[in-house]
Amino acid sequence: MKHPTKIKRLTTNIFKIALIATIGFFLSSCGDEKKELEGAAKDIFSGECVNGTDASIVIYSGRSENLILPVIEAFECETGIKVDTRWGSSTEMALLIDEEGNKTQADIFLSRSPGPVGYLDGKGYLAPISSNILGGVDERMRSQNATWVGFSGRQRVLVYNSDEFSEGTLPSSIFDLTGADFKGKVAIPGSNGSFIDWFTILIDQYGDETAELWINQMVENGARYYPNNRSIVEAVGRGEIAMGLVNHYYNYKISAATGAEHKASNYVFKDNDIGGTLIISAAAITESSQKVSEAEEFFMYLLSTQVQTYFTESTYEYPIAAGVQPNSALPELEAFEIGSINFDSLGEGFENANRIIESSGILNQ
């Protein structure tokens, strides 16, 4: 009103921005073909890329782009199969596949743990994987229904602040954390997927009553709730809380990122205690996929020596394929004997685990 020219200019500006945005929007979709790999992908495959083929697959990945993208790039380069990926949390991806049903675009689902794949398996959305792939891993690291295969592992550990505790003062079993020495000291990621999966295994091995008793006693003993592994490792490193139940590899990554000011160490429970269970990242093929052979080629790639080595050297995970040595920085794996666990029951036990966790009140501590 007072400055008609200014207003006009503003309007023009808005249009200009919108126009530029629209043009770039379409331009941005065209990427250029690369002939050789860079960065972490080069560590996996350093040769020259083969020419692209018509073949392509779609992955819904619940594992982070930072971890998996180099593998996908190397796969594309080495095989010429194009990969399109949707990134998100494993829960979100499982919910999406559930919603999309047989119309899902996904050929492959990569999950942080067996829980979300178990959920989809229970609904019949997963196809069986051929036995030559399943044969590449120990039978404890794959589904008994042949619907998923493990490709990397993270061990459950107790991360502790090294100013407050030393290894000798820590308990040998997770069941001892309910003792007076640890009152108000332990962080539990009660709503976190890996923890819920682990708790489901606990129920599976020890029964409802023992599991329920343990978590209720933990709450009575002043255990504190944190939403995820990362926030616990970070808080322990700062000294906000003395210790917590987490997956092992966050501590390596946060130490690498923040250096000496991060005062946390990992502790593995003794004598094959259930507190040291290995949580497996799982790969599955959707029932509706028309690209089973390409998908299986990707699975072979995931389990190949170079990719398994990448996982352990770069992301500090435990390799799953037979014959690949873990990163020398990692303690030797004496994980809880998981052979007797039927991981496929996790999908069904999930709801029960969640109910027990929730009614313990830990989520509000």
Partner 1 sequence: MIGTRLSMQSPVPLKIGVLGIAFLFSFPAGYLLWRNFTGDTSSLKLLNKSQVLSPLQRSLILSVAVSLTTALIGIVLAWLTTRCDLPGKRIWKIILPIPLVFPSFIGAAAFIRTMNPGGFLNGLLNKIGIDNVVEIRGFFGAWFVLSLFCYPYVYLPVAAKLRHLPSSLEETSRVLGYSPRKTFNHVVFPQVAPVLGAGTLLVFLYTISDFGAVQLLRYDTLTRSIATSQLANKSLSLALGLFLLIIAGIVVFAERMISRTSISSDQKSIGPPLKYSLGAWKLPSFLVVSLLTLLSLGAPLFTLSKWAIDGLRRGSGNGHPLTLNVQQVWESTWNTLSISVIAGFVTILAVLPIAIVISRYKSKVGNLAHSLVIATFAVPGILIALSMRFWSLQTDWAYNLFNNTKALLVFSYVVRFGSLAMGVVLLSVAAVPNNLQDAGQTLGVKRIPRFFRIYLPLMSPGLGAAAGLVILSTMKELPITLLISPLGFSTLATRMFSSFEEAFIAEAGILAVILVALSSILTWMLVIRKSEHL
Interacting positions 57-96 with partner 1 (CB under 8 A): 58, 64-67, 69, 84-89, 91-92, 94-96
Among 134, 170, 353, 360, binds partner 1 (CB under 8 A): 353
- The answer to whether residue 11 forms part of the interface with partner 1 (CB under 8 A) is yes
131 binds partner 1 (CB under 8 A): no
Examine residue 230 and tell whether it contacts partner 1 (CB under 8 A).
yes
Which lies closer to partner 1 via its Cβ, residue 340 or residue 364?
A: 364
- CB contact at 8 A, 195 and 250: no
Q: What is the DSSP string of 141-165?
A: GB-TTSSEEEEEEEEEEEEEETTT-
- Minimum distance between the CB of residue 15 and partner 1, rounded to whole angstroms? 9
Q: Is 290 in the site for partner 1 (CB under 8 A)?
A: no
Contact track, partner 1, 256-285, x by CB under 8 A: xxx---------------------------
Shortest Å distance, C-beta 273 to partner 1: 25
- 4 lies in the site for partner 1, by CB under 8 A: yes
> Quick one: three-class SS letters along 108-135?
EEEECCHHHHHHHHHCCCEECCCHHHHC
Q: How far is the CB of 235 from partner 1 (least distance, A)?
A: 7
Q: Which is nearer to partner 1, 86 or 140 (CB)?
A: 86
247 and 157 Cβ atoms separated by less than 8 Å = yes
Give the shortest CB-42-to-partner 1 separation in angstroms. 11
Contact status, residue 117 vs residue 111, Cβ threshold 8 Å: yes
Query: Whole-angstrom Cα distance, residue 239 to residue 263?
Result: 8
Per-position DSSP letters for 179-235, written without gaps between them: SGGGTTTEEE-TT-HHHHHHHHHHHHHHHHHHHHHHHHHHHHTT-EE-SSHHHHHHH
Question: Rounded to whole angstroms, what are the CA distances from 349 to 91, 115, 180?
Answer: 16, 9, 31
Instruction: Determine if 208 is a binding residue for partner 1 (CB under 8 A).
Output: no
Closer to partner 1 by CB, 58 or 149: give it.
58
76 or 78: whose CB is closer to partner 1? 76
Q: How far apart are CA 244 and CA 232, in angstroms?
A: 6
Tokens representing 226 are 């944190």
Residue 277 Cβ, how far from partner 1 at the closest point, in Å?
A: 19
18 binds partner 1 (CB under 8 A): yes
Choose between 99 and 271: whose C-beta lies nearer to partner 1. 99
Residue pair 288/103 in contact (Cβ under 8 Å)? The answer is yes
Between CA 365 and CA 360 the distance in angstroms is 10
Binding residues for partner 1 restricted to 175-194, rule: CB under 8 A: 191
7 binds partner 1 (CB under 8 A): yes
CB of 23: closest distance to partner 1 in angstroms?
Answer: 9
Q: Give the count of residues interacting with partner 1 (CB under 8 A).
A: 79
Structure tokens, 150: 């493990």
Beta bridge partners of 57: 83
Binders of partner 1 among residues 102 to 121 (CB under 8 A) are 103, 105, 115-116, 119
Closer Cβ to partner 1, 10 or 322, answer by number: 10
- Interface residue with partner 1 among 10, 50, 322, 329 (CB under 8 A) is 10
Taking the C-alpha atoms of residue 293 and residue 53, their distance in angstroms, rounded to an integer, is 14
Residue indicated by tokens 């090294």:
162
Residue 101 lies near partner 1 (rule: CB under 8 A): yes
